[in-house]
Amino acid sequence: MEEISAILKKYDEDYVRQNFVDTKSVNEFALYFYRDAAEIYDSITRVRNVERNPNGFDLNDAPILGLLVKIWKLLKEVLNYYEQDNAEIISVLERPLIEASVISTYLLKGDPSVIEDYRKCSYKDRLRILRDLEEGSPFFGTKAGNRLLQSVQEKMLNEGLTADDFDTQKKNRWKVQGKTFYDIFSTMENEKLYACTYGMMSESIHGSWNESMDYCLARNADSTYSAYPFFQPADIRFVSPTLRFANRPFKLWLERIDAAEPGLIEALDWIDRVNTSLFRKFDEAYDG
């Protein structure tokens, strides 16, 4: 695509060399590069092989495409908060970004039954809504309740689902193939990365004592704590590990939809190479 070619043309050898000089220039280069990577991901989600998919994608592909769109949307928002120097909001956004990356990779490597299971698992709370209706919940006598109910019914109708089609999901406690996210992560990635990436990030969503000490409290000289009313500054280095998770499913997607043209795959390989170089440069430039 023309958008991707225009991005890659900017990164000639001189441009990269000029920006790999000192810590300040590397940080600035990293932010521009990450933004361009997000734009490439955005472009890829609009690619299709018109022979395979003359209009759009069916229920075997659409769930994966939805996750890929979520990845680039979250990545762009993460980078916005880097410019605002707000690490706390970034920590909230990076966790679902990694989850979308790992789950989409898992679906891409699975068969149609895994995709169907993933779709059905998303109806857990929506089925509860239908049960509440049958039990006469007064909420569905309101306009808001009716809108919610119509949305659930319409989605299930579009997929040809009824309330009786979820026995397997109930048996597996609404987990895809009965697996926890840790199980899926360990299958797709090095399980030792779980604790230092997705695992610790859960604290930004649910809250914890460690998360409070990192972001919301200041420790006093007498070992007491006071409120810390400021946002913690952001460190651009942490995007590189996140990008490592995100790049992989886009490659698999292009192969799946028969659109793995040399230029597109080369763009994703280029992201991997530059991201690896950045990670190494950060490791050289920073001490601690």
CB 249 within 8 A of CB 68: yes
Q: What's phi and psi for 161, nearest 5 deg?
A: -105, 150
Give CA–CA dist 104/183, Å, rounded: 14
Q: Facing residues of 151 across strands?
A: none
DSSP string, 123-159: THHHHHHHHHHHTT-GGGGSHHHHHHHHHHHHHHHHH
Is the confidence at residue 155, as pLDDT, over 60?
yes
Which ranges constitute the DSSP H helices of the chain? Answer: 2-9, 13-18, 23-44, 62-83, 87-108, 112-121, 124-134, 143-159, 167-171, 181-188, 200-206, 209-215, 239-256, 262-285
Task: Give the global pTM.
Answer: 0.91
pLDDT of residue 285: 67
> What is the separation of C-alpha 266 from the centre of its chain, rounded to a whole number of angstroms?
22
The arithmetic mean of pLDDT across residues 111-131, rounded, is 94
* 126-150 per-position pLDDT tens digit: 999 888 887 888 887 888 888 988 9
pLDDT at 79: 95
Which residues, listed in sequence order, are joined to residue 217 by a DSSP beta bridge?
Answer: 227
Query: What are the residues facing 219 on neighbouring strands?
Result: 225
User: In this structure, how many other beta carbons lie within 10 angstroms of the beta carbon of residue 241?
Assistant: 15
Q: What is the mean pLDDT of residues 85-102?
A: 92
Residue 287 pLDDT > 70 = no
Specify the pLDDT at position 217: 95
3-state secondary structure of 63: helix
Q: What value does the mean pLDDT take over residues 196-216? A: 85
Return the pLDDT at 236: 83
- Note the pLDDT tens digit of each residue in 211-261: 899 999 999 999 999 999 999 888 887 888 899 999 999 999 999 999 998
Whether the pLDDT of residue 25 is over 80: the answer is yes
**Considering the chain, what percentage of its residues have pLDDT values greater than 70?**
99
What values do phi and psi take at 124, rounded to 5? -50, -60
Radius of gyration of the chain (CA): 22
Q: How far is CA 236 from CA 3, 27, 60, 119, in A?
A: 25, 7, 36, 34
How far apart, in whole angstroms, are the C-alpha atoms of residue 82 and residue 136? 48
Structure tokens at 118: 């993933």
The answer to whether 101 touches 71, Cβ cutoff 8 Å, is yes
CB 231 within 8 A of CB 85: yes
**pLDDT of amino acid 59:** 96
The DSSP element (H or E) to which 218 belongs, if any, is strand 217-219
